[in-house]
Amino acid sequence: MLAVSRKLRLSFFEVRGLQCIRERPIVHVTEIRLRVTQALVLVAGLTLNAQTLAQGDPLPSWNDGKAKQSIVAFVKNVTSKGSPGFVPPAERIATFDNDGTLWAEQPMYFQLAFALDRVKALAPKHAEWKDKEPFASLLKGDLKGALAGGEKAIAEIVMVTHAGMSTEEFERIVREWLGSAKHPKSGKPYTEMTYQPMVELLRYLRANDFKTYIVSGGGVEFMRPWVEKAYGIPPEQVIGSTIKTKFELRDGKPVIMRLPEIDFIDDKEGKPVAINKFIGRRPILAFGNSDGDLQMLQWTAAGGGTRFMGIVHHTDAEREWAYDRKSHIGRLDKALDEATAKGWTLVSMKTEWKRIFSFEK
Amino acid sequence: MLAVSRKLRLSFFEVRGLQCIRERPIVHVTEIRLRVTQALVLVAGLTLNAQTLAQGDPLPSWNDGKAKQSIVAFVKNVTSKGSPGFVPPAERIATFDNDGTLWAEQPMYFQLAFALDRVKALAPKHAEWKDKEPFASLLKGDLKGALAGGEKAIAEIVMVTHAGMSTEEFERIVREWLGSAKHPKSGKPYTEMTYQPMVELLRYLRANDFKTYIVSGGGVEFMRPWVEKAYGIPPEQVIGSTIKTKFELRDGKPVIMRLPEIDFIDDKEGKPVAINKFIGRRPILAFGNSDGDLQMLQWTAAGGGTRFMGIVHHTDAEREWAYDRKSHIGRLDKALDEATAKGWTLVSMKTEWKRIFSFEK
């Protein structure tokens, strides 16, 4: 899959390279124009295969249904010069939720799985956890009992596993976990639990000069170590929840320490607030999968002009999971009503996606 | 100046356009290679003038002194493939303080001048300010009296002028003020009080695939309306201090309201913290002018590999202002010592800059 993606990206560069040749001011001199044209025709022939690959079907894992058609129509509309919906490249901001939108979130948020594994790894150094909730239940394998303490219990688990180290140490811990942990259902590394159709969509948007962002309720420093490789999204385009951090000199060496205190929860009303703070432009496309994304979608929709609001709907119990209005994880209820009322694009996994994970045959 | 800058930028694109022609995989077919080469030679001739302009001296407002030489040497080192200091384009992050580094900050921070003007504009609706400090003194023209209340007084002035409206309303207010306000010494609009050598430096870095960021103690939403035109830095690459904001539906329409509460002060220890939170990569070049930038410079320096730390030193009382260790605005004391001890690049305005403002002859 990676080899294919590199090839595709290369071919986009090639096509764009040719466009930039055409934009040279060479048309003023007839002799040059002729030679360049001859060369272009021949070069164009050489790159035809790549071009077909890239332009023929940029979304091969999508069925040719309503969702794919509306995406392609939107992209053509905002990128065609002279089109009523044309948007200059600098303003082509696209924001994506992560959990349940770009990768799976069942049977539990993957970051929670990370936290639980970390509790186990740290337990030998914390004898006191044997008698202290939520750790005692957790270490006995009783997840339900551990989470019975509600948000306070979750916050305690998150803080002992996510704070108290430098940002560099935390990055190393995340990388190590990703290198060994496996998803309980598929047995695959978590970074392979990404949705192939969405990876194609991100690539398609970038090939059309969109700037793609993650805007997730997950921790920003939990995502940055792996999302560039998984989605092609660089660290500076990842927005997420944060804990407070502190700059200090440790033996004269500057470090940024992670503190056990919530800084910002990037969910619900927090998403447009963070988009405004970090990006300072309103997205023209946003994709989510749950009520936690509703305000981001509303903020995007209210921008005027051509906009695209998309929702991944988990409808495929066989290939993935089926859940919406009553789920504790990724509940999709109010946003489902609003999407229906306002004509946002609902992407039913079962009908719209030919393939969900890249490891499927 | 704008005409020249557009021309320069265009010429960079042209040069890069030619490079991307050279990178086509056309060398496999001899016939094509010949024709393309012929065309290239002729096209290259046409763009020679632009090329000379762009590559001949990318920093024309800098004297050929130590500072300019160290900048050019650094850029060559990190951009030359095979060089021991080579840094891939994606990691070429450059962060710049704004007040006193990219534009002037005397006789007071320009954002404070904005706040004071706003108090005057809002006074007719606030009869109570006549008897209430710091407003009473301020409205009598007694700035010193108004600021005698210290940080509390400043916070009060900032909150009544910067909060209580939507982000869109605030942007409009900033734009209107910039359109009419004049700097008290030069009589020029504040947006012309930018340093021409630094504008050239930003452009030079971007032409070498750097991503240029502002990391300022100033308010992020005070900067975003004008910095793209002034410096070529888009909204999503502006980091600054923030007040809290809140997403809400106003008559069914989503707005982001500015609240009278500090969210984050992007100064001193706050700068590396914000760089880590917003960018998630460590800069390889940082520029500041005061002790407020020291931690950003330390964080940059500690990254290992080739790094550039620069400080604008205000030494020109005639063309700009001369101040450092004892100034209340932009104090440069500890950072001056550390720059000297560690060999960071000190840019003395008086000796290193041929021209300071673009409106100078």
Same domain, yes or no: B48 and B83: no
- Of the residues B43, B224, B258, B309, the best mutation for testing chain A's interface (the one with the most A CB atoms within 10 Å of its CB) is B43
In angstroms, the separation between the Cα of residue A91 and the nearest Cα of chain B is 10
Same domain, yes or no: B17 and B102: no
- Left if phi > 0, otherwise alpha if psi is -120 to 50, otherwise beta: which for B92? beta
Give me the pLDDT at residue A224, please. Answer: 98
For A16, name the nearest residue in chain B, comparing CA atoms only. Answer: B20
Same domain, yes or no: A319 and A281: yes
Contact residues for A54 (Cβ-Cβ < 8 A; gap 6+): A8, A11, A12, A15, A207
Contact residues for B159 (Cβ-Cβ < 8 A; gap 6+): B243, B260
Sign of the dihedral defined by the CA atoms of residues B323, B324, B330, B331, in that order: negative
Q: With respect to residue B111, please indicate whether it lies within any of the assigned structural domains.
A: no
Mean pLDDT of chain B: 87
Copy the structure tokens of residue B170: 């605030």
Q: Does B42 touch chain A (CB under 8 A)?
A: yes
The answer to whether B289 touches B339, Cβ cutoff 8 Å, is no
Percent over 90 (pLDDT), chain A: 81
Q: With respect to residue B174, please indicate whether it lies within any of the assigned structural domains.
A: no
Same domain, yes or no: B37 and B70: no
Give me the pLDDT at residue A33, please. Answer: 39
Same domain, yes or no: B257 and B327: yes
**Coil/strand/helix, residue B288:** strand
Q: With respect to residue B147, please indicate whether it lies within any of the assigned structural domains.
A: no
Confidence of residue B42 (pLDDT cuts 50, 70, 90): very low
Same domain, yes or no: A51 and A74: no
Q: Of the candidates B55, B77, B98, which is a domain's last residue?
A: B55
**Coil/strand/helix, residue B122:** helix
Nearest to A280 among B224, B253, B295 (CB): B224
Confidence of residue A28 (pLDDT cuts 50, 70, 90): very low
Over residues A118-169, the pLDDT tens digits come to 999 999 999 999 999 999 999 999 999 998 988 899 889 999 999 999 999 9
Q: Which of B267, B318, B258 is nearest to B289 (CA)?
A: B267
Query: What CATH number does residue A277 fall under?
Result: 3.40.50.1000
Q: Does B242 touch chain A (CB under 8 A)?
A: yes
- Helix (H) and strand (E) counts in chain A: 15, 7
What is the rounded distance in angstroms from the CA atom of residue B297 to the CA atom of residue B335?
Answer: 9
Q: With respect to residue A322, please indicate whether it lies within any of the assigned structural domains.
A: yes
**Res B29 pLDDT > 90:** no
Mean pLDDT of chain A: 87
Same domain, yes or no: B7 and B74: no
Contact residues, chain A, for B277 at CB < 8 Å: 220, 242, 245
Copy the structure tokens of residue A279: 């990006």
Same domain, yes or no: B9 and B48: yes
Contact residues, chain B, for A298 at CB < 8 Å: 249, 254
Specify burial of residue A320 (Cβ count, 10 A radius: 0-12, 13-18, 19+): buried
Same domain, yes or no: A293 and A348: yes
Report which of residues A25 and B217 the model is more confident about: B217
Mean pLDDT, residues B343-357 = 98
In angstroms, the separation between the Cα of residue B345 and the nearest Cα of chain A is 20
Question: What is the number of residues in chain A?
Answer: 361
Sign of the dihedral defined by the CA atoms of residues A310, A285, B167, B282, in that order: positive
Q: Does A249 touch chain B (CB under 8 A)?
A: yes
Mean pLDDT, residues A238-258 = 97
Over residues A342-355, the pLDDT tens digits come to 999 999 999 999 99
Mean pLDDT, residues B217-242 = 98
Give me the pLDDT at residue B151, please. Answer: 86
Mean pLDDT, residues B128-133 = 94
Q: With respect to residue A130, please indicate whether it lies within any of the assigned structural domains.
A: no
Same domain, yes or no: A221 and A248: yes
Cα angle B133, B139, B142; round to 5:
80
Copy the structure tokens of residue B88: 């891939």
Contact residues, chain A, for B206 at CB < 8 Å: none
Give me the pLDDT at residue B55, please. Answer: 59
In angstroms, the separation between the Cα of residue B191 and the nearest Cα of chain A is 20
**Res A30 pLDDT > 80:** no
Contact residues for B269 (Cβ-Cβ < 8 A; gap 6+): A246, A247, A248, B295
Copy the structure tokens of residue A359: 């490891």
Nearest to B32 among A43, A248, A280 (CB): A43
Report which of residues B350 and A29 the model is more confident about: B350
Q: Does A4 touch chain B (CB under 8 A)?
A: no
DSSP B190: G
Q: With respect to residue A153, please indicate whether it lies within any of the assigned structural domains.
A: no
Mean pLDDT, residues A295-320 = 97
Q: With respect to residue B185, please indicate whether it lies within any of the assigned structural domains.
A: no
Give me the pLDDT at residue B43, please. Answer: 44
Over residues B313-328, the pLDDT tens digits come to 999 999 999 999 999 9
- Of the residues B273, B282, B296, B300, the best mutation for testing chain A's interface (the one with the most A CB atoms within 10 Å of its CB) is B273
Asked if omega into B134 is within 30° of 0 (cis), the reply is: yes
Same domain, yes or no: B39 and B73: no
What is the rounded distance in angstroms from the CA atom of residue B266 to the CA atom of residue A336?
Answer: 39
Domain of A255 in residue numbering reads as 66-106+195-352
The answer to whether A259 touches A246, Cβ cutoff 8 Å, is yes
Give me the pLDDT at residue A304, please. Answer: 84
Over residues A56-76, the pLDDT tens digits come to 899 999 999 999 999 999 999
- Provide the chain A residues 95-124 that lie in CB contact (below 8 A) with chain B: none
Copy the structure tokens of residue B87: 């840094």
Give me the pLDDT at residue A36, please. Answer: 43
Give me the pLDDT at residue B361, please. Answer: 75
Copy the structure tokens of residue A331: 């509940």
Same domain, yes or no: B42 and B96: no
ipTM computed for the complex? 0.85
Q: Does B50 touch chain A (CB under 8 A)?
A: no
End-to-end Cα distance, chain A: 12
Report the domain count for chain A.
Answer: 2
Q: With respect to residue B131, please indicate whether it lies within any of the assigned structural domains.
A: no
